[in-house]
């Protein structure tokens, strides 16, 4: 059973009608094919209308859509299942909110790492809602180093509401773990591509977000804080999340304009959750295109360029 967001309601109604029309056709023998065709046309235009003018808050909702593909969905689709997940940070434990391992795409092996969310209540808890602990970031770094040792490129998938703000997380140095990753990722001698596929919340996202190319899916968001928390702090109430989403300029279009991300991957009209295969294909194409370019560069030059890119970020006046 598909899930629908409030603004997707019109889509759900038409889809229901189509199903009914098909059912009548099958049961009564009366031809409903014209009716189905008309409805499908209507579905297409309605979807287009809705997705043409999405507000920032609607995009935030889409980024969290329960049917939206998660990190392992992308990895499995892109590698065609030729993927070996590797576990543990060799220190504390295996963080289920951060997954990673080697996979192959078009005959070359790639290290994939990303935050993982769960598909139902039980799995969401198991994955800690995609909120890694310090060991998650250290596991990611261990895998990055492994990739570097064998000269394999790295692709990260970012999808997190933030790093976990728990007691043990603080004890084990959440801040240090993220800081270390940001610092070390600058100097990884292999190509690094980071793709924000859903939520890109703050340091928790940036902890695996330093790359030669940082790419965002069209209906994902990336910012220093979630709109809800921003609303709570600045307006002292949760009710201003829509305004906060506007103010934070967190959409892919805004982030590209601010030169914080390098590229936006178009999603099929209707969203990645409705046309998953197409979304997987777009992501795969983007990865291969960027890898081809990055692999031609000298490793030291590539690091230098990566460092310089981040050094130039920020907008200020005067000198």
Partner 1 sequence: MGWFTRKKEGISTSTADKKETPEGLWYKCPKCKAVITTEEHKSNLHVCAVCNHHERISASDYFELLFDSTKGTEFARGITAADPLEFKDTKNYVDRIKSVQEKTGLKDAIRVAHGKMDGDVIVIAAMDFRFIGGSMGSVVGEKIARAIDKAIELEAPLIIISKSGGARMMEAGLSLMQMAKTSAKLNQLSEAKLPYISLLTDPTTGGVTASFAMLGDVNIAEPNALIAFAGPRVVKETIGRDLPEGFQYSEFVLEHGFLDLIVDRKDLKSKMSQLLRMLKLEKAQKEEE
Q: How many CB atoms lie within 10 A of CB 150?
A: 10
Under 8 Å CB-to-CB from 250, ≥6 apart: which residues? 56, 60, 221, 222, 223, 227
**Minimal distance in Å, beta carbon 310 to partner 1?**
4
Q: Where are the beta strands (DSSP E) in 206-274?
A: 213-217, 221-223, 263-265
Q: Which two tokens stand for residue 21?
A: 């029309």
235, 239, 253, 266: which one contacts partner 1 (CB under 8 A)?
235
> Does 30 contact partner 1 by CB under 8 A?
no
> Does 249 contact partner 1 by CB under 8 A?
yes
Give the nearer residue to partner 1 in terms of CB position, either 43 or 158.
158
Give the nearer residue to partner 1 in terms of CB position, either 110 or 244.
244
9-28 vs 33-52: helix axis angle to the nearest 10? Answer: 170
> Does 224 contact partner 1 by CB under 8 A?
yes
The number of residues that bind partner 1 (CB under 8 A) is 58
> Does 166 contact partner 1 by CB under 8 A?
yes
> Does 305 contact partner 1 by CB under 8 A?
no
Q: What secondary structure, in 3-state letters, does 4-48 show?
A: CCHHHHHHHHHHHHHHHHHHHHHHHCCCCHHHHHHHHHHHHHHHH
Cα separation, 202 vs 223, in Å, equals: 6
Give the nearer residue to partner 1 in terms of CB position, either 77 or 247.
247
Residues 196-215 within binding reach of partner 1 (CB under 8 A): 202-203, 206-207, 209-210
Show the binding pattern over residues 250-269: x = contacts partner 1 (CB under 8 A), - = does not: x---xx--x-x---------
Q: Which two tokens stand for residue 18?
A: 């189509």
Binding site for partner 1 (CB under 8 A): 163-167, 169-176, 178-180, 182-183, 186-187, 202-203, 206-207, 209-210, 222-225, 230, 233-235, 240, 243-244, 247-250, 254-255, 258, 260, 306-308, 310-319
């Amino acid at each position: 059973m598909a899930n629908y967001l409030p603004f997707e309601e019109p889509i759900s109604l038409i889809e229901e009608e189509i199903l009914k029309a098909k059912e009548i056709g099958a049961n009564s023998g009366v031809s409903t094919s014209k009716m189905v065709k008309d409805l499908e046309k209507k579905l297409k235009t309605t979807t287009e209308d809705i997705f043409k003018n999405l507000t920032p808050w609607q995009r935030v909702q889409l980024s969290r859509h329960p049917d939206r593909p998660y990190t392992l969905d992308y990895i499995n689709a892109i590698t065609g299942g030729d993927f070996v997940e590797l576990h543990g940070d060799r220190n504390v434990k295996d963080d289920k909110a951060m997954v990673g391992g080697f996979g192959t795409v078009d005959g070359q092996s790639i290290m994939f790492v990303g935050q993982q969310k769960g598909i139902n209540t039980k799995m969401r808890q198991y994955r800690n809602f995609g909120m890694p602990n310090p060991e998650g970031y250290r596991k990611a770094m261990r895998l990055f180093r492994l990739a570097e040792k064998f000269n394999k490129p790295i692709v990260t998938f970012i999808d997190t509401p933030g790093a976990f703000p728990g007691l043990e997380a603080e004890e084990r140095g959440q801040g240090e773990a993220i800081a270390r990753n940001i610092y070390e990722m600058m100097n990884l001698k292999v190509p690094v591509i980071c793709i924000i596929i859903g939520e890109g919340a703050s340091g928790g996202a940036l902890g695996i977000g330093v790359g030669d190319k940082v790419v965002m899916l069209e209906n994902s968001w990336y910012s220093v804080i979630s709109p809800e928390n921003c609303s709570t702090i600045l307006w002292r109430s949760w009710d201003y999340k829509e305004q906060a989403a506007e103010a934070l300029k967190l959409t892919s279009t805004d982030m590209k304009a601010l030169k914080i991300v390098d590229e936006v991957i178009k999603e099929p009209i209707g969203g990645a959750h409705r046309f998953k295969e197409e979304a997987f294909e777009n992501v795969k194409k983007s990865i291969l295109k960027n890898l081809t370019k990055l692999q031609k560069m000298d490793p030291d030059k590539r690091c230098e360029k990566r460092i310089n890119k981040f050094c130039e970020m920020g907008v200020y006046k005067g000198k």
